[in-house]
């Protein structure tokens, strides 16, 4: 029985892992558009690679921007979580909220976050923001199990919870970079998105299978002793 449970667990774990699709992108191997991202801009901002960092600088000209977009199916399934993680330092942003990320789910629900030197704002939720220490890199992570509500983490700590906005723009897609006509300088260190198993998925499977197995053993024991 124990061997069968282990076998079923491994099979289910393999099934979950097969759906998991985290997509890392760093700049050690070249520009994002060389790694499958689609580049976009209105007036192109200055961009350069330096020491594994991607710098995007739109300070020289108002209206300049530069972003990258990747279409992908983003709706998590049962016991799965959508995650978008990025590491960034914002040196300047005038006015605020120029660098950022946009997530559009399969069914037009969207969430967007923009940053300045010391805070991150949810664009579709006026007045919702969280602060962080300026003048250093920070790790951000957005996670959602249903693409309706999200958790935002800064450096591993829960910093904000909110809801997706029903947008007119079609999804699915993830976009990031210098998103607007403001003027900013930011260094992007890495970015990752994808569908991953929920942290409790395997634990729940193990618990359910073990719980399902226990009564049968008890019934068998009672029959043997009756």
Residue 65 lies near Ca ion (rule: CB under 5 A): yes
Comparing C-alpha atoms, which of 65, 33, 40 is closest to residue 179?
A: 65
Site string for Ca ion, 83-112 (x = CB under 5 A): ---------------x--------------
Residue 16 DSSP symbol: H
φ, ψ at 68 (rounded to 5°): -130, 145
Phi, psi of 88 (to 5 degrees): -150, 150
Give CA–CA dist 116/120, Å, rounded. Answer: 7
- Binding positions for Ca ion, 149-178, rule CB under 5 A: 178
Q: 83 vs 184, which CB is nearer to Ca ion?
A: 184
Give CA–CA dist 165/110, Å, rounded.
5
The answer to whether 57 contacts Ca ion (rule: CB under 5 A) is no
Residue placing its CB nearer to Ca ion in the complex, 30 or 95: 95
The b/e string for 178-210 (b: 16+ C-beta within 10 A; e otherwise) is bbbebbbbbbbbbbbbbbbbbeebbeebbeebe
Q: What is the smallest separation between the CB atom of 182 and Ca ion, expressed in angstroms? A: 5
**Least distance (Å) between residue 147 CB and Ca ion:** 27
Shortest Cβ 16–Ca ion spacing (Å) = 39
Minimum distance of Ca ion from residue 112's CB (angstroms): 14
Nearest residue to Ca ion, using CB? 58
Is residue 114 involved in binding Ca ion (CB under 5 A)? no
Count CB-CB contacts under 10 A for residue 29: 10
Shortest Cβ distance from residue 86 to Ca ion (Å)? 17
Select from 55-63, 103-111, 162-170, 207-215 the region that touches Ca ion (CB under 5 A). Answer: 55-63
Residue range at the interface with Ca ion (CB under 5 A); choices 51-59, 70-78, 128-136, 195-203: 51-59
Q: 2 in helix, strand or coil?
A: helix
**Interface positions with Ca ion (CB under 5 A):** 58, 65, 98, 178, 182
């Amino acid at each position: 029985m124990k061997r069968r449970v282990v076998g079923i667990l491994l099979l289910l774990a393999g099934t979950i892992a097969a759906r998991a699709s985290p997509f890392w992108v760093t700049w050690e191997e070249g520009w994002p558009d060389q790694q499958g991202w689609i580049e976009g801009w209105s007036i192109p901002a200055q961009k350069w690679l330096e020491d594994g960092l991607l710098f995007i600088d739109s300070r020289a000209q108002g209206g300049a921007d530069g972003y990258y977009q990747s279409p992908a199916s983003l709706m998590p399934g049962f016991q799965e979580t959508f995650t978008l993680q990025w590491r960034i330092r914002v040196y300047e942003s005038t006015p605020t909220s120029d660098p950022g990320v946009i997530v559009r789910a399969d069914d037009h629900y969207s969430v967007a976050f923009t940053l300045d030197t010391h805070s991150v704002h949810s664009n579709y939720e006026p007045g919702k923001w969280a602060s962080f220490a300026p003048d250093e890199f920070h790790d951000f992570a957005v996670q959602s199990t249903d693409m309706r509500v999200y958790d935002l983490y800064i450096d591993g700590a829960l910093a904000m919870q909110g809801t997706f906005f029903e947008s007119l723009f079609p999804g699915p897609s993830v976009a990031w970079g210098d998103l607007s006509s403001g003027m900013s300088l930011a260094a992007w260190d890495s970015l990752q998105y994808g569908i991953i198993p929920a942290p409790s998925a395997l634990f729940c499977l193990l618990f359910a299978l073990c719980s399902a197995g226990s009564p049968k053993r008890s019934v068998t024991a009672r029959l043997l002793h009756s």
